[in-house]
Amino acid sequence: MSSTTSSTGAAAPSLPSTMTALQIQSQGDLSVLETRTIPLPRLEAGQVLVQQEFAGVNYIDTYQRGGLYKLSMPWVLGNEAAGRVVAVAPDAEGQGIAVGDEVAMYCAGGGFAQYNAVSRDKVVKLPAGVSTKLAAAALLQGLTAWTLVKESYPLQKGDTVLVHAAAGGVGLLLCQMASHLGATVIGTVSTEEKAALARENGAHHIINYAKESIVDKVLALTGGNGVQGIYDGVGKDTWEDDFKVIARKGTICTFGNASGAVEPFAPLKLAAKNVKVIRPALPGYIQTREELETYSSHLFDLMAKGVVRVKIHDVYPLSAEGIRRSQEDITGRKTTGKLIVDVSKL
């Protein structure tokens, strides 16, 4: 997120001129994470200004901080947040978002800050019953999980699927959604505590890879046939095993790099079983306002029905130490559920 120019439009009175933000000056290790006082972002055409209350912590934050994805500096980290609208650009007025509305946003930076100016097309109004805290915990990972099961590998009732890191933030949501859609879910975890949590959230079978072979257990559970779909947010460490347990004509969705990025591979690797591999990213599924509103309405509806239940593992302050700790926790695979930042706590 970079600073913006001012424009007139609907606005709440008495906005400050500066704010606190987690702004990095360069990409690198955890030492680059620092909070700074920077100018309040000003509206550009088509934008709304949001006073943020909570922000979600995601693996992509660590990729952006570490340099896997190149960014222009300086940069305010954070890719999802929720709060209250305090200003609307003139050309964005009358488009369903007004000053005072509680909203959630899927944004390219700016989440770890007190205010954020974002495109109207990246903001969704929260329905009754969904708080800003819950929305910040659910939006990005919820949309990721839902697009994985509906588009990346559109699972069918009766499928058997493998969910790696089944007790993580996306993993728990995948277990809930896949089970709801009628699939048999096999989940991988590293501890008995995580195994119990994955079962509570819809996994029918659990593999504790600290004690047993993923390959042997999956093949035993499927009569040697393998699974129709694999949702893999782990990356490098599970990549080769995925090819051993995917069924003929199955689909491997490799959507994360928790253990490192998957190395380039020869297309001939797919030929033995006519396997499909997809490396999806959420922006490829949600680019327009209509797509955001459609998918988020599906997500909020699943939440209202109790199909999707978001587990918040921990809440961190908007401080350098808080954000460092959140990134250490998420990369250390010590978490079960979602991590969020309380922007009001500095």
What digits encode the pLDDT tens for the residues 131-146?
999 999 999 999 999 9
Cα separation, 261 vs 96, whole angstroms: 40
Backbone angles phi, psi at 25, to 5 degrees: -100, -15
The residue-averaged pLDDT of 242-251 equals: 98
The SS3 call for residue 197 is helix
CATH of the domain at 85: 3.90.180.10
Q: Which of 279, 301, 334 is the last residue of a domain?
A: 279
Residue 2's pLDDT is: 41
Contacts of 138 (CB under 8 A, 6+ apart): 130, 299, 303, 308, 310, 338
Domain that holds residue 203: 153-279
Domain count, the chain: 2
Q: Could you tell me the pLDDT band of residue 1, with boundaries at 50, 70 and 90?
A: very low
* Residue 1 included in any domain: no
**Position with higher pLDDT, 165 vs 333:** 165
The residue-averaged pLDDT of 315-327 equals: 97
Cα separation, 247 vs 226, whole angstroms: 4
Is the pLDDT assigned to residue 5 strictly greater than 90?
no
Residue 11's pLDDT is: 64
Per-residue DSSP letter, 73: S
257 and 297 fall within a common domain:
no
CATH of the domain at 181: 3.40.50.720
In Å, the largest CA–CA distance within the chain is 66
290 and 275 fall within a common domain:
no
* Residue 316 included in any domain: yes
> How large a percentage of the chain has pLDDT more than 70?
96
Residue 56's pLDDT is: 97
Give residue 235's identity as a one-letter amino acid code: G
Q: Could you tell me the pLDDT band of residue 337, with boundaries at 50, 70 and 90?
A: confident
Residue 10's pLDDT is: 67
Question: pTM for this one?
Answer: 0.87
275 and 309 fall within a common domain:
no
The answer to whether 275 touches 250, Cβ cutoff 8 Å, is yes
Is the pLDDT assigned to residue 332 strictly greater than 90?
no
Is the pLDDT assigned to residue 304 strictly greater than 80?
yes
* Residue 4 included in any domain: no
Q: Could you tell me the pLDDT band of residue 259, with boundaries at 50, 70 and 90?
A: confident
Residue 258's pLDDT is: 84
180 and 113 fall within a common domain:
no
Q: Could you tell me the pLDDT band of residue 9, with boundaries at 50, 70 and 90?
A: low
